[in-house]
Amino acid sequence: MLEINQLHKEYGRITAVNELSLRVPRGSVFGLLGPNGSGKTTTLGMVLGVIRPTRGSFRWFGELPTPQQRKRVGAILEKPNFYPGFSARKNLELVAMIKEKGRDRIDAVLRQVGLYERQHDPFRTYSLGMKQRLAIGSALLADPEVLILDEPTNGLDPAGIADIRELIRDIAAMGKTIILASHLLDEVQKVCTDFAVLQQGHLIHTGPVAGQEQEVVFELDAPDQEGLLEVLPLVPGYLSHQQEDAYVSLTVASGTLPEQINAFLAERSLFLSHLSVHHRTLEQQFMEILSQHA
């Protein structure tokens, strides 16, 4: 859907985006994850044609950028700009007029973003979450193939966040590709199928979100800890282990069952006093990825 090749942006002495190469698969919900200042917004600005790259290139739909292609991409980069005194419907009518597209889709869009009931109330009376949903609706008016969202849940309360996440999943289910920049790991984990991690403008990781869970971590302990540590490397699926304060943490290939580990150890007269399963969260992996690049 989007292919970025060695895209680079310098602001004077600051390198905002550093030789970034990336592929966004069609139909994915792609998370661009990284702390503030890591270059997410600059990257989105470049692929949207509003920030001029210092060098490098990108292709939408396999082609170099043209104004026609740009129309196939919907985006919300900045705080939504709507007329406070106008209703949601009136604001969308204006957007449709300016874009010369989407007038016939206003009802459908209002329903999709959950504003149909409130469509005649003035924009200024909306909650932050409703305003954000209207912004997404406005980007959907022209029925784009790709939707780009920059920190879509910033400043929202938990209910507003849940609404936006549900809406994102909804839009993805319609077959659209979504690119979402966020500094929130949790957000990326909950809605994205694929992700990339940016750190100071560098790409430090990219891959599927689900495929990340290739390992399982067990916490275990036995009265005979010494004996336990000795045979651990022989356990089925063994990848690594680490001595923690109160237990041993054992990393094995996913699919390894606790009963396999238990049986294996019991056969060697090692009886466990503690065994629990921990799936590695994206957060733990993220911390590991970051520490490898510190």
Q: Which residues bind ligand ADP (CB under 6 A)?
A: 11, 14, 16, 34, 36-42
Please, which residue, 40 or 133, has the CB nearer to ligand ADP? 40
Angle between helix axes 88-99 and 128-140 (nearest 10 degrees) is 30
To Mg ion, the closest distance from the beta carbon of 36 in angstroms equals 7
Pair of tokens at residue 206: 């990219």
Best CA proximity match to 133, nearest among 145, 62, 277, 117 = 117
256 Cβ neighbours under 8 A, 6+ residues apart: 216, 235, 236, 237
- Spatial contact of 176 and 113, defined as CB atoms under 8 Å apart: no
The distance between the two most distant Cα atoms of the chain, rounded to a whole number of Å, is 77
37 binds, among Mg ion, ligand ADP, none (CB under 5 to 8 A by kind): ligand ADP
| Footprint on residues 31-60 left by Mg ion (CB under 5 A) | 40-41
Please, which residue, 44 or 250, has the CB nearer to Mg ion? 44
Please, which residue, 108 or 184, has the CB nearer to Mg ion? 184
Residue 182 touches Mg ion, criterion: CB under 5 A: no
199 binds, among ligand ADP, Mg ion, none (CB under 5 to 8 A by kind): none
Question: What DSSP character marks residue 67?
Answer: H
How would you list the strands of the sheet with 55-60, edge to edge? 14-24, 2-11, 55-60
To Mg ion, the closest distance from the beta carbon of 78 in angstroms equals 10
To ligand ADP, the closest distance from the beta carbon of 188 in angstroms equals 13
- Spatial contact of 4 and 21, defined as CB atoms under 8 Å apart: yes
Please, which residue, 36 or 81, has the CB nearer to ligand ADP? 36
To Mg ion, the closest distance from the beta carbon of 24 in angstroms equals 17
Helix (H, G, I), strand (E, B) or coil at 52: coil
42 binds, among Mg ion, ligand ADP, none (CB under 5 to 8 A by kind): ligand ADP
To ligand ADP, the closest distance from the beta carbon of 182 in angstroms equals 9
CA 32/CA 152 separation, integer angstroms: 12
205 binds, among ligand ADP, Mg ion, none (CB under 5 to 8 A by kind): none
- For Mg ion, the binding residues (CB under 5 A) are 40-41
